[in-house]
C-alpha cells in the first residue's frame, strides 16, 4: 500500500478531537434553529444567541491551538462566558414565551454541560 499524505479531514486539528468542541458544534446548530424560529421583532435575541454560540466553538478551537497554558485558559474562559450568555438568552426567550419550555430545557442542558467541560479545561490549564 503506497504511503500517501493524509488529507485535511483525515489529519484533523487537535480541537476536533475535543468532546467540548463537538458539543459546541451541536449546540451551534441548536442555537441557529432556535434563533431562526424566534418571532419577528426579536432579531436582537436571535443574533445574540447565534454569535455567542459561535463564540463557544471559535474560542474553544483557538484555545486548543495555543501553546501557552495561560492563553489556553484565557480562550477557554471566553468560551465559558459565551456559554453562560447563551443560557441567559435562552432564559430570556423562555420567560418571554418565545421558545417552548422543552426548547429552553434542551438548550440549557447543553450549555450547562458545555460550562462544566470548559471549566475543567480552564482549571486543568491553571493547575499545570
Residues 6+ apart with CB under 8 A from 26: 110
Residue 2 has pLDDT above 60, yes or no: no
At 99 the pLDDT is: 98
d(CA 86, CA 25) in angstroms, rounded, equals 14
At 41 the pLDDT is: 96
CB 110 within 8 A of CB 103: no
- State pLDDT tens for residues 33-44: 999 999 999 999
- What burial class does residue 54 get, using C-beta atoms within 10 Å of its C-beta: 0-12 exposed, 13-18 middle, 19+ buried? middle
- State pLDDT tens for residues 27-85: 999 999 999 999 999 999 999 999 999 999 999 999 999 999 999 999 999 999 999 99
93 or 127: which leads in pLDDT? 93
At 10 the pLDDT is: 60
CATH 3.30.428.10 fits 15-36+43-127, yes or no: no
Task: Please give the model's pTM, rounded to 2 decimal places.
Answer: 0.89
The domain spans of the chain are: 15-36+43-127
Which H or E run includes 86?
helix 69-95
* CB-based burial, 90-110: b 16+ in 10 Å, e otherwise: bebbbeeebbeeebbebbbeb
Amino acid at each position: 500500500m503506497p504511503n500517501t499524505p493524509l488529507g485535511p479531514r483525515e489529519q484533523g486539528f487537535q480541537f476536533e478531537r475535543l468532546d467540548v468542541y463537538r458539543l459546541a458544534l451541536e449546540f451551534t446548530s441548536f442555537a441557529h434553529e432556535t434563533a431562526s424560529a424566534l418571532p419577528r421583532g426579536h432579531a436582537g435575541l436571535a443574533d445574540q444567541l447565534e454569535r455567542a454560540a459561535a463564540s463557544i466553538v471559535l474560542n474553544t478551537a483557538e484555545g486548543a491551538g495555543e501553546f501557552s497554558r495561560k492563553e489556553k485558559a484565557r480562550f477557554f474562559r471566553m468560551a465559558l462566558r459565551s456559554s453562560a450568555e447563551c443560557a441567559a438568552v435562552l432564559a430570556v426567550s423562555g420567560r418571554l414565551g418565545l421558545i417552548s419550555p422543552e426548547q429552553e430545557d434542551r438548550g440549557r442542558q447543553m450549555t450547562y454541560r458545555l460550562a462544566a467541560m470548559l471549566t475543567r479545561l480552564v482549571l486543568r490549564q491553571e493547575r499545570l
